[in-house]
Amino acid sequence: MLQKTSHFMKQANLIGGEWVEADSGQTIDVINPATGLKFGTVPKSGKAETARAITAAAKAFESWKKTSAAERARLMRKLHDLIIENQDALAELLTLEQGKPLAEAKGEIGMSAAYILWYAEEARRVYGDTVPSPWADRRILVTKEPVGVVAAITPWNFPSSMLARKIGPALASGCTAVVKPATQTPYSGLAWGVLCEEAGIPDGVINILTGSASEIGGELTRNPLVRKLTFTGSTEVGKILIKQSADTVKKVSMELGGNAPFIVFDDADMDRAVEGAIAAKFRNSGQTCVCTNRFFAQAGIYDRFVERLAAAAEKLKVGNGLEDGTQQGPLIDEGAVEKVEELITDAEAKGGKVVTGGKRSTLGLTYFEPTVITDAKPDMRFFKEEIFGPVAPVYKFGTEQEAVDLANSTEYGLACYFYTQDLGRTFRVMEGLKYGLIGVNEGMITTVEAPFGGLKESGLGKEGGHQGIEDYLDTKYVCIGGL
């Protein structure tokens, strides 16, 4: 391990500027999925520690909200620079706990830095309005203020950048936060505490807890001092958190599951489509909410697309993410592999054929071979369920309308992709797809400048873009009379 990596690997929680253990002294083991071995522990915090962290955040809010936007932007630029200076160490820590190839981990850390810089810039552009008044003797002002204490709960697939999207707008707007990273990947989350301290962000502005998800989540949603909850994770847990937040009417932002379609029309540029398909399916071993879950290929190019996709998938190098040249790391845990196996068995029983892969890699543990399945049908489980693994089912379709209807027949609406060279079709399909993120002839579209967020049961609110700060702000209307 790089010396700097251990510097960022904090095995404690950050509450009000202090690094502390759980009250009970209990810990949770953290496992490296590439080796199956424990490489550290984190505190098993619960309700009491969460309540203290919220109190610390509420206290820090009183002074942090009064800092100028320029001052917050200055500290955030420092935070950005620290991330870039330590990109290698932070990436190594991420790969150790999450398993993704080091090159992807470096990319994720770069993305984290980019979110912080973007929101450092946006901090100074939180404008209000003056509105033409219907009364001669009164004036109308609309002002924006930080909402207060923000709770953030994040998943294991992007343990650093999912927090950047939440910490960035929170800091920029003048909010304080209590953060709970995923239990499987806590260190990239706790590393934000070290970075914020070194950047000079005041104590209590960012608090970070690990431990029991239901206890911490329970207190974060119950406590009236928390005014906003931002969550990235499964739709199932998101719905629980929305319900729990109802009693105190918190603002909620939800980045939930997806069931991304990837449509290849007969007139597509095949080289480009295959390249995009590999990126949109196999990045992070298929463990992202924008990963393709269903490929739809038009009848005229179906066989050719399947063949090309399988040939490209076969070439992907599976291995430990820290080793040079690895393109597919292990899946996060045994449960993830079992789910993938169940989905493949179900598909095969219903007539699906494995063209390549379909089984665990000879490397053992949670390594799985990149898989392509042909003759996929809508009655197979993975038509509706998120695969979250390196399995690419390919469905055949005839007409444009059929493709759009199939793509939309899901309760999800996060990312989708389609490949065509026809301009009219581009607009018809783009307007027909009920998705928050659309890649046209592109398989990787996430960037800090654009609003990321799903429709339907994929979520509420946007992260990134100038829209991403709105949910961290309260709007006030002021009427000044007697002029």
Distance CA 448, CA 92 (A): 23
Number of residues that bind ligand ADP (CB under 6 A): 15
Task: Work out whether strand 139-146 and strand 129-131 pair parallel, antiparallel, or are unpaired.
Answer: antiparallel
Closest to ligand ADP by CB, 50 vs 298, is 50
Tell me the three state secondary structure of residue 100.
coil
The count of other CB atoms within 10 Å of the CB of residue 50 is 28
Choose the binding region for ligand ADP from 38-46, 161-169, 231-239, 340-348 (rule: CB under 6 A): 231-239
In the region spanning residues 235 to 294, those forming contacts with ligand ADP, defined by CB under 6 A, are: 237, 240-241
Whose Cβ is closer to ligand ADP: residue 179's or residue 407's?
Answer: 179
Which of 159, 153, 122 minimizes the C-alpha distance to 465?
122
For ligand ADP, the binding residue among 24, 63, 214, 475 (CB under 6 A) is 214
The values of phi and psi at residue 139, to 5°, are -125, 150
At closest approach, how far in Å is the CB of 284 from ligand ADP? Answer: 12
Closest separation in Å from C-beta 263 to ligand ADP: 26
CB atoms within 10 A of CB 245: 20
The nearer residue to ligand ADP, 192 or 418, going by C-beta atoms, is: 192
Binding residue (CB under 6 A) for ligand ADP from 31, 51, 213, 455: 213
> What's the helix, strand, coil split of the chain in %, to 5?
40, 25, 35
Q: Give the pairing type, strands 251-255 and 353-356.
A: unpaired
Catalytic residue among 219, 255, 457, 470: 255
CB of 241 vs ligand ADP, minimal distance in Å: 6
Nearer to ligand ADP by Cβ, of 265 and 388: the residue is: 388
The least distance separating ligand ADP from the CB of residue 153, rounded to whole angstroms, comes to 5
The structure tokens listed for 193 are 């505490």
Compute the distance between CA of residue 385 and CA of residue 380 in angstroms, rounded to an integer: 9
- In the block, residue with structure tokens 């904090």: 10
342 is catalytic: no
Residues 6+ apart with CB under 8 A from 65: 145, 146, 174, 175
Q: Which residue is nearest to ligand ADP (CB)?
A: 217
Q: Enter the tokens of residue 159.
A: 């343990």
Residue nearer to ligand ADP on the CB measure, 46 or 233: 233
Of 21-29, 153-161, 293-301, 314-322, the window that binds ligand ADP (rule: CB under 6 A) is 153-161
Spatial strand order in the sheet of 473-480: 129-131, 139-146, 473-480
The least distance separating ligand ADP from the CB of residue 120, rounded to whole angstroms, comes to 26
Q: Is 217 in the site for ligand ADP (CB under 6 A)?
A: yes
Q: Does 153 bind ligand ADP (CB under 6 A)?
A: yes
Compare residues 86 and 184 and give the one whose CB is closer to ligand ADP.
Answer: 184
On whether the CB atoms of residues 204 and 16 are closer than 8 A, the answer is yes
Tell me, residue by residue from 110 to 149, as one string, x for binding to ligand ADP by CB under 6 A and - for no binding. Answer: ----------------------------------------
Instruction: Map the footprint of ligand ADP across residues 181-200, applying CB under 6 A.
Output: 182-183
161 to 180, contacts with ligand ADP by CB under 6 A? 180
Residues 254 and 231 sit within 8 Å (Cβ to Cβ): yes
Closer to ligand ADP at the Cβ: 72 or 250? 250
> Which span (195-203, 213-221, 302-310, 475-483) binds ligand ADP, by CB under 6 A?
213-221
Residue type for position 96 = L
**Residue 86 or 244 with smaller CB distance to ligand ADP:** 244
Q: Which stretch in 43-51, 154-162, 192-200, 338-346 sits in contact with ligand ADP by CB under 6 A?
A: 154-162
**Taking contact as CB under 6 A, which single stretch among the options 34-42, 196-204, 230-238, 348-356 is the one that binds ligand ADP?**
230-238
Give yes or no for residue 31 binding ligand ADP (CB under 6 A): no
| 6 token code pair | 């251990």
Backbone angles phi, psi at 142, to 5 degrees: -120, 120
Reduced to 3 states (helix: H, G, I; strand: E, B; else coil), residue 295 is strand
**Helices 270-282 and 302-314: angle between axes, nearest 10 degrees:** 50
Residue 155 or 276: which CB sits closer to ligand ADP? 155
Structure tokens at 424: 């009219």
| Cβ partners under 8 Å of residue 78, min gap 6 | 199, 200
Residue (156 or 412) nearer to ligand ADP, CB: 156
Q: Find the DSSP H helices in 127-284.
A: 161-173, 187-199, 213-222, 235-246, 270-282
| Minimum distance, C-beta of residue 206 to ligand ADP, in the bound complex (Å) | 16
Q: How far apart are CA 256 and CA 238, in angstroms?
A: 7
Q: Give the type of residue at 71.
A: E
Between helices 161-173 and 102-123, what is the axis angle to 10°?
A: 10
Between 87-98 and 187-199, two packed helices, what is the crossing angle to 10 degrees?
A: 160
- Which of these segments, 136-144, 160-168, 232-240, 296-304, binds ligand ADP (CB under 6 A)? 232-240
**Min CB(392)–ligand ADP separation in Å:** 20
CB of 221 to ligand ADP, least distance (A): 8
In the complex, which residues of this chain contact ligand ADP (CB under 6 A)?
Answer: 153-156, 180, 182-183, 213-214, 217, 233-234, 237, 240-241
- Active-site positions read 255
